[in-house]
Structure 1
Amino acid sequence: MVKLTEVEDEHFSQEKPQPSKHNVLLASDDEEEDDYTDTESEISNEDDVELDGESLSDRLAALKDIIPPSARRSFNNTVSNVTSFTKSGLSFSGKALWVISTSAFLLGVPWALAYAEEEQYIQMEREQGMIKGANEMLTPGTAPTEEQKASQPSL
């Protein structure tokens, strides 16, 4: 835990401020305007501070007291609301992705297979038509085939 100790300035501990003319401590006289600089005072050494006994969590816990409780409460509420919104959004998007992908597999795969089969049939008909046209061009004077006879009306 962090311990606070009050360090008094040497100047103030040796000389107590005396009230001036009218019992006012902060009255400014022309004589008292000299700035006081304490060049002999010692800056606290790092040896005085005991950091070995503190962990990072102890230091962070001590920082908690800097923020007022109302600000901590509002920050906590904001973080919990954002966390809740994020969780619900991710949950909804995961469920929606599952529904869309499942529907695509159940409806899309059979449709794609049927479409590919239909394209094969169309391609086969084109090939047969091309073969038939090539045969007619190679043998122009031949007798009509049985299929052609059946399709011609009789007189």
Structure 2
Amino acid sequence: MVKLTEVEDEHFTTEKPIPTSKDTLLMSDNEEDDDFTDTESEISVDSTYDLTNETLYDRLIALKDIIPPQSRRRIISTVNSITDATKSTFSFSGKALWVISTSAFLLGVPWALAFAEEEQYVQMEREQGMMRGANEMLTPGTNAAAAALGAAGTEQSKPAL
């Protein structure tokens, strides 16, 4: 079984007077540096860790401990919610685009073909009307006979849509 013991640093066990706002202006640079350095700790110069082989990923993983766990959870939940919202938006957009495009093909293509056919019939009727007008101008005597035949029973048929 492993037994843990807490080792306190001398720096924190010795009591120093708490500086007031007046005293902080009078502190020298050396006194401020004493708060941040630990002269008795060993600097790991003789470490076997090679810094040249360290990757950016290794450095980012080491920075993970700097951010408190609550902040990490909040950041991760925010990133996850943004990622989920983006995925659902793209998924919905893709499905909606599929429905719209297939509906356009299934409904639009037959309508366009029927419309083009109707335009052809209208164009043919115009051409026939122009031909009748040209024939009447060339042979003025046959106009009365053609009018009598047309009124007697020949109807032109129109295409139905």
Q: TM-score range by the shorter chain?
A: 0.5 to 0.7
Q: Deviations over 1:49-85 (max 9, x none)?
A: 9522423222111111111111110000000001001
What is the match of residue 147 of structure 2?
A: 148
Letter in 2 for 1:119: E
Identity of matched residues, %: 61
**Structure 2 residues not aligned, in runs of 5+:** 1-15, 31-44, 153-161
Q: Does 1:123 align with 2:123?
A: yes
Q: Does 1:107 align with 2:107?
A: yes
Letter in 2 for 1:64: K
What is the match of residue 17 of structure 1?
A: none
Return closer, same or farther for 1:51/1:128 CA change in 2, 3 Å cut-off.
same
Alpha-carbon distance in structure 1 between the residues aligned to 2:71 and 2:27: 43
- Secondary structure, aligned partner of 2:123: helix
Could you tell me the TM-score, scaled by structure 1's length?
A: 0.64
Return closer, same or farther for 1:80/1:35 CA change in 2, 3 Å cut-off.
closer
Return closer, same or farther for 1:144/1:100 CA change in 2, 3 Å cut-off.
same
What is the match of residue 94 of structure 1?
A: 94
Letter in 2 for 1:77: S
Could you tell me the TM-score, scaled by structure 2's length?
A: 0.61
What is the match of residue 85 of structure 1?
A: 85
- Secondary structure, aligned partner of 2:52: coil
Alpha-carbon distance in structure 2 between the residues aligned to 1:96 and 1:34: 69
Q: Which has the higher contact order (CA 8 A, sep 6+)?
A: 1
Return closer, same or farther for 1:25/1:74 CA change in 2, 3 Å cut-off.
closer
Moved more, 103-112 or 48-57: 48-57
Aligned length: 118
Alpha-carbon distance in structure 2 between the residues aligned to 1:151 and 1:58: 95
**Structure 1 residues not aligned, in runs of 5+:** 1-22, 38-47
- Secondary structure, aligned partner of 2:114: helix
What is the match of residue 135 of structure 2?
A: 135
- Secondary structure, aligned partner of 1:107: helix
Q: Does 1:69 align with 2:69?
A: yes
Q: What is the root-mean-square deviation in Å for CA atoms of aligned residues?
A: 3.1
Deviation at 1:124, TM superposition (A): 0.3
Structure 1 segments of 4+ aligned residues over 6 angstroms from their partners:
none
Which protein has the bigger helix share?
A: 2
- Secondary structure, aligned partner of 2:140: coil
